[in-house]
Structures are given as C-alpha cells and as structure tokens.
A and B are shown apart, each in its own frame.
Chain A
Amino acid sequence: MEAIKGAIALVGYGLAAIGPGIGIGIVVGNAITAMARQPEAAGMVRTTMFLGIAFTEALALIGFVLFFIA
C-alpha cells in the first residue's frame, strides 16, 4: 500500500478547526438571539460571548500551533 505523503499536519489542523467552527457559530448565534430578546442585557451578553468564543477557539489554535511544531 502506498504510504501517505505530504503535509499531514495540515490535515490535522483542518480537522481541529471543524469543532471550534461549529462551536463559535453556536455561541455567536445564541448570543445574537439573547441580545435581540433582551437588548438591555446586550453588554453582559457580549462579554460572555467573547469569553465563550475565547474558550471555544482554543482548540483550533492549538491545532494551528501543532501544525507548526509537529
């Protein structure tokens, strides 16, 4: 069987970006829903949204760093 050749770490980074992509979509979507329903709570929701994005994004960024150092 032919061995796989090429930048395999790139495939790993692509896989690592799937989950955070979906996750950030869910976070921001729900934050927009919350802001639309409760405009007076928009400031608090926005802060929490950035926190959620930051936590979710970490996996993709770890994948990005591993692509360089792998």
Chain B
Amino acid sequence: MGPLILASAECDPAADIICKPDNVIELFRYDDALFSIGPFHFTRTVFLMFLAMAIVLVLLYFGLRRKALVPGKLGVLVESTVGYVRDEVAVGIIGPEGTRYAPYLLSIFLFILVGNLFEVTPFISFPITSRMAIPGFLSIVTWVIFVVVGFAENGFGYIGGIVWPKAVPIFLRPLVGLIEFVSTFLLRPITLAVRLFANMVAGHLMLALLLVSGWVFMSSVGDIGIRSVIGVPWFVFGLGIFVFEIVVAVLQAYIFTLLAAVYVQSSVHPEH
C-alpha cells in the first residue's frame, strides 16, 4: 500500500516554498519518445492524435457515404453535427459568407471533441488536449486565419479600426486602441489555448485523484480494515465527476469552435 499512497514525491515545506510534482513540465513538453524518425518524435500523445484523426475521418466517411433520403443512425448523427456546425455556428455567427469557414470549424470541432472524449474513454483515459502543444497549435492556426481574413476583407483598415476605433471619443481612442490591440492579437490566442488546456488538465487531475484514491482505499482493506470504506464516497464522487467531464468535453469543443467563429466574424465585420 505504501508506494500507492505516495503517488507523488514527498514534499518538504521547510525546504521549498512551492511544492509541486517535478514532472509538471510534461504538460508543456514531452521528451520521452517511443521512437523517432528524424526530427519527429512519436510519443503517446502523437499516436492518440493520429487515432483521433482516424476516428474523425472514419466517422465522416461512413456517416456521409450514402446520400440517402432517410439516413441510418450514424448518418443522422454525423449529418446533424455537420449541419449544426455549419448552420448554427458558421452561418449563425459569421453570417451568410460563413459557409466558407464551415470546413475549418467542423474540423477543429470534431478533432477537439474526439481528443477531449479520450479523457473518459476506457483504456485510454488521457485527453490529448491536456498537452499544451495541441490547443496551442490549434489556437495559432485560428489566429492566423482571423488575422489573414481581417486583412483580406478590410485591407489595412483592419488594423486601423482596431488601434484607432472611430466609435470612441477622440481623447479615449489611444487608450481603447491599445487595449483592443493587446486583447485582439495577444490575449485572444493565449486565452483560447489556455481555456481548453486548463479545463482538460483540471478534469483529468480530478478524475485521477478521486478514482485512484477511492480504489487505493478500497483495495487496502486488508491493511486498514473497516476504515477502507473511506474510499467508497471518493469513488462515487469520482463517478459523478466522470459524467460531468463528458459534458465538459463536449462543451469545451463547442466553445473553442464558437470562439473561433466569433473571432473570424470580428475580422469579417470589424465594426460590430
């Protein structure tokens, strides 16, 4: 029981101000590759990324293979998802020209959704979006898209409208322009990535702590006797959180897509 209880390294508050496990850096980079081809290192996260991509492709292929008048169960699921992202998110937020961005929005929605649902998938139990590289890269791509769209639709008036907003009294324009500039070009991509990343890390941590501590207590009934019933409420609470995490996984994929659409919309129609 000893090594199980001491899941993390022992922390000495007298020696160190901040106590944290020494593998936190894994959230941001992961050096322990299974094998490498040139500069490409294949880790568990990379394999799960390819698995997520394959799942999305297979779903879309088999869901939309036959254009039937009455689609099957999978067809209904895929068609309603595609229709929701195209009609409600892309067209509903960006406007009639939003269909141009529907493929991108659908791609990130499905990829993030599958990646998040790996968190509650048995035998995987690991959300790939809880490694900073993946939400970071997705938000950089989104940033590039909305900046390029802003310049393509409005020319240099795009950046002019941000740093010198016409709707604001003239003596406030420098201040508002500075805030808008920082928030549009720096805070938007950072918060977009951090929101997804932190939600998934928090959910993963909570699930691991509750379920593992429940299991450790209940399985140590031989050592500590009747006191091991402490594990039962932990386990039940963990199962409750498990259901909650399914909701969070879907909601975070939806929010990421929604915010990407909102950012593109603010580049297409910067006056709103």
B-binding residues in A (CB < 8 A): 5-9, 47, 50-51, 53-55, 57-58, 61-62, 64-65, 68-70
B20 x A58 contact (CB < 8 A): no
Partner of A5, one of B13, B24, B201, B255: B13
State whether the Cβ of B216 lies closer than 8 Å to any Cβ in chain A.
no
User: What 0/1 pattern do residues 53 to 91 of B give for CB contact below 8 A with A?
Assistant: 000000000000000000000000000000000001000
Main secondary structure of the interface of A (DSSP, over half): helix
Q: A54-B259, A58-B191, A58-B194 are in contact. Are A64 and B202 (CB under 8 A)?
A: yes
How many residue pairs link A and B with beta carbons under 8 A? The number is 58
Q: A50-B254, A61-B199 are in contact. Are A8 and B18 (CB under 8 A)?
A: yes
| Interface residues in B, total, Cβ within 8 A | 26
A-binding residues in B (CB < 8 A): 13-14, 17-20, 24, 27-28, 88, 92-93, 191, 194-195, 197-199, 201-202, 251, 254-255, 258-259, 262
Partner of B17, one of A8, A64, A65: A8
What are the residues of chain A within 8 A of B199 when measuring CB–CB?
61
A51 x B14 contact (CB < 8 A): no
Docked complex Cα distance between A24 and B159 (Å): 31
The 8 A-B residue pairs whose C-beta atoms are closest, nearest first, are A61-B198, A58-B191, A54-B255, A64-B198, A68-B24, A65-B198, A7-B19, A6-B13
Partner of B262, one of A7, A51, A62, A68: A51
What are the residues of chain A within 8 A of B88 when measuring CB–CB?
47
A5 x B191 contact (CB < 8 A): no
Q: A54-B259, A68-B24 are in contact. Are A62 and B19 (CB under 8 A)?
A: no
Residue of B nearest to A53 (CB): B255
Give me 5 other A-B pairs in contact (C-beta within 8 A), A8-B18, A54-B195, A64-B202 excluded: A7-B18, A61-B195, A62-B194, A64-B201, A65-B197
What are the residues of chain B within 8 A of A5 when measuring CB–CB?
13-14, 17
Distance in Å from the Cβ of B50 to the closest Cβ of chain A?
27
What are the residues of chain A within 8 A of B254 when measuring CB–CB?
50
Q: List 12 A-B contacts (CB under 8 A).
A: A7-B20, A9-B18, A47-B88, A51-B258, A51-B262, A54-B255, A54-B258, A61-B191, A64-B202, A65-B201, A68-B24, A68-B201
What are the residues of chain A within 8 A of B19 when measuring CB–CB?
6-7
Partner of A62, one of B191, B202, B251: B191
What are the residues of chain B within 8 A of A9 when measuring CB–CB?
18, 20
Distance in Å from the Cβ of A58 to the closest Cβ of chain B?
4
Partner of B255, one of A50, A62, A65, A69: A50
What are the residues of chain B within 8 A of A65 when measuring CB–CB?
194, 197-198, 201
